[in-house]
Structure 1
């Protein structure tokens, strides 16, 4: 389980920052100084101030320099992830502005590293990780970790005046038809956009609502000429994400004896990935999408067919019946916290 450390930087108290920023903004337009040759001069800040745009970047650069100096390397897959590997222990540090999550294979090494952070920065050790960016983190007796946004969701329901709304079995019924011309247009769409953005964040721990959250809200980047081409476009996107995930796990010193497998319920798309002869029928498709075939040839990826009745990804792409929706959610490990304890 990880540790959460909150950085308070080594700057001024938050109230003093706001006061100074207000003064600078109020007088910056009227304050002028000139050099000996008549050139206009500006004030150069020797320390970043809270509230200014460069403050988060200045803090991250300072923290990054310290982490690199103490033996950490910056992940190529995620710029906010730092890894320190040695023969007897591993430490991972994940940074989001001034919130720092630390985990690793040795409790003693983690405590030693936290002590080093305390000596360098003004930090507050929050102890065992329970909440991070609105996500509740719980660990079961078996060691598995459960991520939950229940509090965040309840706050969103209250904000939307839907606290007492009745629940449904699935996010969208199979016979639902949506139209952009249906209903009364909103006078101010700002609140709707804000709620839609909040729902996008909830998808991190609730992939079962991904389809209904994104329905009609995103345009396809390319126009497919056939169902097979559309499936292959999605296959290429999935293969790209798998490649990134494999790269990240490699940096975390984790590996698997089995090749990563991408399951597709379209037999023609699977055939295109395995048989270069069929590529002649897709001459109009961007060449970069055929990297899937190259990975299959090099033995870095396996593309296999899965029956539609076992296609768990259907939760993310279409409305389902209540029985299939419940079945696929369980296979995605989207379950109640009580079920994993």
Structure 2
């Protein structure tokens, strides 16, 4: 029994060490990169042109310094020196280094140079640590579905009865019906809510969606600025935004408004699920651990690289 519990203990300890390494976050200060933990404690001082997430295949973090690539550990010691012209990969249990002309194997234990790689095929380059992804396929050829009379029930037909004549025009959209009279937009009818939202000379209703199980209606004023109201027409966001995006799958809200100091610029804000606000447009990234609890990480692209922030509003970059 003692051996069994010792084995479980050792397994848990190894998982804890692995999780800690995975928890280190690329941290930027100015133009230099290092590493920090979720509490923003710096483990590798910012000194590199670029740095990756932990790559288990090389047991370290890919980093770039003076145009050369190496691998460092979480305590700033060198796993492999900065001698490669491309990110270092692992092949056949050995490091694979490109010296500008050829690929050579290096021992993972001694870091000593071994034989030259003979095969002609392009060598594998580990990219798990760098976070590169595949672009999603284009949806431009997919036709968006729209409502039809067949989708409506008797209550819907009764609600639309005053507008179902030659005086009005009903335009069926994906999840609502637009009501027009000549060149005038009268309002919209939302079958799922069985409710008509009438426009005013100052405000038009332009769409709707659920967010966290609650329906919200988008509005637009005469300056083409967006706002948001609830089903009782109570204002949720005033009409001052260039765009409002409710991303229900990640429970994020993106707001952009015109910059009063620069006419062609937009000011972005991201509202997180816990209502913390980040300046800029952040997308969800990795789920880490902080104080034993799941901790969601978000990123913003700056100069073509991901810069990170935590769900508590902590920014892992500056300058």
Of structures 1 and 2, the one with the larger relative CO (CA 8 A, separation 6+) is: 1
Q: Larger strand proportion, structure 1 or 2? A: 2
By the TM > 0.5 criterion, same fold? no
Pairwise TM-score range, normalised by the shorter structure: under 0.3
Flag the structure with larger Rg: 2
Write 1 or 2 for the structure with the bigger share of helix: 1
TM-score (norm 1): 0.26
- TM (norm. structure 2) is 0.27
